[in-house]
Amino acid sequence: MPYELYYWDGLQGRGEFIRLALEDAGADYIDIAREDGPERGIDAMMKVLKSKSERHLPFAPPFLKDGDMIISHVANILFYLGPKLNLAPSDENQRIFANGLQLTITDFVAEVHDTHHPIATTQYYEDQKEAAKLRSKDFIEHRMPKFLDYFERVLHRNPDGKAHTIGKSLSYVDISLFQIFEGLRYAFPRATANLAKDYPALQALHDTVGNRPNIKAYLRSERRLDFNTSGIFRHYPELDQSA
């Protein structure tokens, strides 16, 4: 039975971290909200969110259905899928470490979101633009380097070599870091101009992931939407500045 991914159509968003892992593994999955037909489309997703009978009610997309199970939150979905997709360490303690890294990525992504929505998700960007400029400035000057420095150090600290964050094999954490690099470069081209120089191990990891055959095929497919100003990573020139 294929996995069912539930996430908004029209943007990469948080769902993209799940898609990339499923695609890399060549897993059989249905991107429910993006397909037509019965039990498909946004309505099918809203039906679960508003269900009066579902025991494991999700708070928000993305969520994953695997048979009867519903799993919510990106990090939780990846923690659950990791071993099944062969994208997690076999050692249980290492999987806990991977989960901690993914939760740091979760925090980073939330901060990226808040660069354009620092006041209210219920309001348009245009109505919070001045606060967004202030928050983006702080993000570029303090937060982005703090997070990237950390992940660069994690790679250098891996006793099995800096090619991966954990052990000798690719994990879902590595794939998520690829997406972080992609997203930051789209949203903040000026601030990220020196990323390759400043974060060589992250850059190398990004290239490793981007060159994996299934990822390459996915990125060229229609399933990979372009970044746009509906997603988490948004390019508004007025929020960007040199690092």
Give residues in contact with its own copies (CB under 8 A): 54-59, 69-73, 75-76, 79-80, 93, 96-97, 99-100, 103-104, 106-107, 110, 114, 118-123, 128, 131, 134-135, 138, 142-143, 147, 150, 153-154, 157-159
Phi-psi region of 86 (alpha: psi -120 to 50; beta: other; left: phi over 0): left
Nearer to its own copies, 100 or 210 (CB): 100
Would you mind telling me the total number of residues written for the chain in this entry? 243
Distance CA 169, CA 181 (A): 20
Which C-beta is closer to its own copies: that of 153 or that of 216? Answer: 153
Shortest separation between residue 103's beta carbon and its own copies, angstroms: 4
Smaller CB distance to its own copies: residue 55 or 220?
Answer: 55
Q: Which of 146, 136, 162 is nearest to 242 (CA)?
A: 136
Minimum distance between the CB of residue 18 and its own copies, rounded to whole angstroms?
14
Q: How far is CA 170 from CA 63, 160, 215, in A?
A: 23, 12, 13
- 119 versus 163: smaller Cβ distance to its own copies: 119
* Minimum distance from residue 239 beta carbon to its own copies (Å): 13
User: Residue 183 Cβ, how far from its own copies at the closest point, in Å?
Assistant: 19
C-beta of 20 vs 140, nearer to its own copies: 140
Smallest gap from residue 110 Cβ to its own copies (A): 6
CB of 42 to its own copies, least distance (A): 19
Nearer to its own copies, 71 or 239 (CB): 71
Integer Cα distance of 157 and 85 in angstroms: 25
Q: For residues 152 and 199, is the Cβ–Cβ distance under 8 A? A: yes
On whether the CB atoms of residues 175 and 151 are closer than 8 A, the answer is no
Report the alpha-carbon distance of residue 117 to residue 136 in Å, rounded: 10
